[in-house]
Amino acid sequence: MPRIPLPSARLTVWIAAVAALLARYPSAMWPLRPDEAGFLLVARTWAPRADSVYGAYFVDRPPEIIALVRLADWVGGPYALRVLAALGIVGFVLLAAATARSLATDAAQLPRERADRVAAWTAVVAAGLVGNAGVDVVSAKGEHLGIPLVMGACWLALAALRRSSTSLALLAGLIAMLAVGLKQSMVGGLVFGGVLLVGTALGDHSRVRSCARLGAAAAAGALVPVVATVVWALVVGVDLGTLWYTVVGFRPDADAVLDAQPSSNIDARAVKMVGLATGTGMVLVIAWFVLHLVPLVRRLPAHTAAVSAMLLVDVVAVVQSGSFWMTYLVVLVPPVAMATALLLVAEPVPGQPAEPEPEPLPRRAHRWTVGAITRGLVVFTALSSATSLVAWWEITEAGHRPIEYYAGEAIGRAARPGDTLVVYGGRADIQWASGLRSPYPHLWSLPMRTLDPDLSELGDLLTGPAAPTWFVEFTYLDTWSETGTRRISEELIERYQYVTTVCGQYRVYHLKSLERPVLESRCSEPWRGGLASLRD
């Protein structure tokens, strides 16, 4: 049987990048998800004032992510952000390969051909993890938009250290902080660069001054987005205390609410997240990396410390999130890809001693085994990703429907000019699909539970002149707490009429009027045709 030639290492990198792009095809087959819809609504109504960063709606995200959503919407409409995310994923895979190649050539002094192979395997694991449908290949969120910046910052940090370049270090700090502007927990680029410099200085005292200079440049670069955001806030009149609370201070309050209101749904998501992280291969690669930390530290101390710190911080961020949404796993892809690169770099080069003194044969054989198992894990992640995409397609074809979009669409068709809508429980995709404005500032459940804990703001709204025309119960009023729910129930009985339970799930109410509105939904229709199925 003739032997089928395998693609070259550099071609493999591009194949992996294209595969990661193709794995995003579900994003062209599904309407906006809740976060995407919420960010879009915030961006379209952005009107900063002293007591609100965004105006009509509250979201605990930095202005950078909302500005990016607004720009993408202006350029290409509501789905342009998904195109940007898909292109960013391609860039992420290419940058993962470039970073792995830099680790192999600069740190481990491997020959070019061997470094290219390390880069190829790293690109495959990066594409496999980021292209897994279980994690999220539909929506474009801060995690998807941020990981190319995180990986780019790591690559620049290695290049800055290699060339002792303050300009590259400044750029690395700038890009690493821009990632934080897309999702506050995405500090991996900053952690990697900082630990790399400290570790290098400790390991080689002759480079202390150089590392200090590079660290100062990186810190200056990281300050640029921060200063720019503060200047913007001062120019548009946003109180700096309001900006701080929106970006930073809100999170501890929200964590306290999550701790005070335990949920079986959150517990179930936590279990599912562990299972998914294992099924994608993430947990397996991390465990394999931790198992070989000691020999890796011996061979590449500064680089291993940097990747380990980055991985630890990102894992803690996911665990501390409290909500355990599957998309949070995207944050772990850059450090897992770099951990894979380190494991491959540590494999001995055939025909060359791996250390100044030749290793004993058993130890050398063990290191070859480490490389073989690492490559096996990479193959596992790729197969898991392919399987997940097939499963996603089968589930969708079997009749899986975006009932939130259908529900919002039905309300929008029955609404009259000037109507407004409040979705209790926070489903911005229903709000977006309806095309109606919300007079309530909370499009997400956690901000509602944190900033309006007794529902007094919602209660005043329902009894006041700006009461919403439509009210949807996405979830039961007392799902998280009974505090304030009696008043809401009374107002729904007093001022509203029950219309229907749309799609068999969401109770819809309308202000009492002489004419009872009729909702006509297509909830029984399967979702086929992708975004072409959207109706104006």
User: Which tens digit of pLDDT belongs to each residue from 463-472?
Assistant: 999 999 999 9
Question: Could you state, in order of their start, the residue ranges of all structural domains in the chain?
Answer: 9-252+269-397, 403-533
Burial of 449 (0-12, 13-18, 19+ CB in 10 A): buried
Query: What whole-number distance in Å separates Cα of residue 189 and Cα of residue 496?
Result: 51
What is residue 533's predicted lDDT score, i.e. its pLDDT?
61
3-state SS string for 440-486: CCECCHHHHHHHCCCCHHHHHHHHCCCCCCEEEECCCCCCCCCCCHH
Cβ(65)–Cβ(39) below 8 Å? yes
What is residue 393's predicted lDDT score, i.e. its pLDDT?
85
| Per-residue pLDDT at 481 exceeds 90 | no
Query: What whole-number distance in Å separates Cα of residue 3 and Cα of residue 16?
Result: 22
What is residue 46's predicted lDDT score, i.e. its pLDDT?
97
Cβ(104)–Cβ(119) below 8 Å? yes
Find the mean pLDDT for residues 315-330.
Answer: 91
What is residue 110's predicted lDDT score, i.e. its pLDDT?
84
Query: What whole-number distance in Å separates Cα of residue 64 and Cα of residue 29?
Result: 27
| Per-residue pLDDT at 438 exceeds 70 | yes
- Quickly list H helices, 109-263: 112-130, 142-163, 166-182, 188-203, 208-236, 240-244, 250-260
Task: Identify the DSSP state of 484.
Answer: T
What is residue 386's predicted lDDT score, i.e. its pLDDT?
95
pTM beyond 0.85: yes
Find the mean pLDDT for residues 86-100.
Answer: 97
Task: Identify the DSSP state of 330.
Answer: G
Query: What whole-number distance in Å separates Cα of residue 67 and Cα of residue 35?
Result: 15
What is residue 10's predicted lDDT score, i.e. its pLDDT?
87
| Per-residue pLDDT at 536 exceeds 80 | no
Query: Is residue 211 very low, low, confident or very high in pLDDT (cuts 50, 70, 90)?
Result: very high
What is residue 6's predicted lDDT score, i.e. its pLDDT?
55
| Per-residue pLDDT at 349 exceeds 90 | no
Q: What is the largest CA-CA distance in the chain?
A: 92
| Residues facing 437 on adjacent strands | 420
Cβ(23)–Cβ(385) below 8 Å? yes
Task: Identify the DSSP state of 442.
Answer: B
Query: What whole-number distance in Å separates Cα of residue 36 and Cα of residue 71?
Result: 14
Nearest residue to 224 (alpha-carbon basis) of 159, 180, 163:
180
Find the mean pLDDT for residues 251-277.
Answer: 89
Give residues with Cβ within 8 angstroms of 492, minimum separation 6: 462, 471, 509
Sign of CA dihedral 78, 80, 82, 88: negative
List pLDDT tens digits, range 367-377: 568 888 999 99
What is residue 162's predicted lDDT score, i.e. its pLDDT?
94
Q: Percent of the chain, pLDDT > 90?
A: 76
| Per-residue pLDDT at 1 exceeds 60 | no
Q: Percent of the chain, pLDDT > 70?
A: 92
